[in-house]
Amino acid sequence: MSEIVKYQPAEAFQKINDGAILIDIIDEDGYSVVAYDGVPSTQVTLLQLLEKLQWLEKDPTYIAGGYDETSGFKAANLLHHQGFENVGYIAGGVQAWFQEGFQVKYNVNGGCGTGSCDTGSCDTNSCGTGFDEDESMGGCGGCSCGH
């Protein structure tokens, strides 16, 4: 059986660009204050990941990330112990991802709870939320470009 791989953010970014699937682990209430941006990802809680295991293909490489390194490791460990051989996690989580210069998005109200935030285009200053950034309600406000 293979080992769980600890990827530095740059390594994870390259693997994702090469076809690995990023699973962004959010808290048990379905919220995320900061999320990975600039790469395709699926946001789930650990419980949701456990519930979806039976429908996941075992062949792809899965890279788990979260707010911190621990949540990504827990998800990778879960996958590994369920027979997924190509799994890893992002060292340092989204914090390290950001510190290495990769894009993140800030969910102004703590996250969408839906697992999907369309940040749209930063050129519009609205980030695809349908609300102006000054409004207090808007779900996933914020772009990686600072809006």
pLDDT per residue, tens digit, the chain (147 aa), is 589 999 999 999 999 999 999 999 998 887 778 889 999 999 999 999 999 999 999 999 999 999 999 999 999 999 999 999 999 999 999 999 999 999 999 875 544 443 343 434 334 333 333 333 333 323 333 334 333
Whole-prediction pTM: 0.72
Per-domain residue ranges for the chain? 5-113
The CATH classification number of 5-113 equals: 3.40.250.10
Task: Give the largest CA-CA distance in the chain.
Answer: 51
How buried is 140 (Cβ within 10 angstroms: 0-12 exposed, 13-18 middle, 19+ buried)?
buried
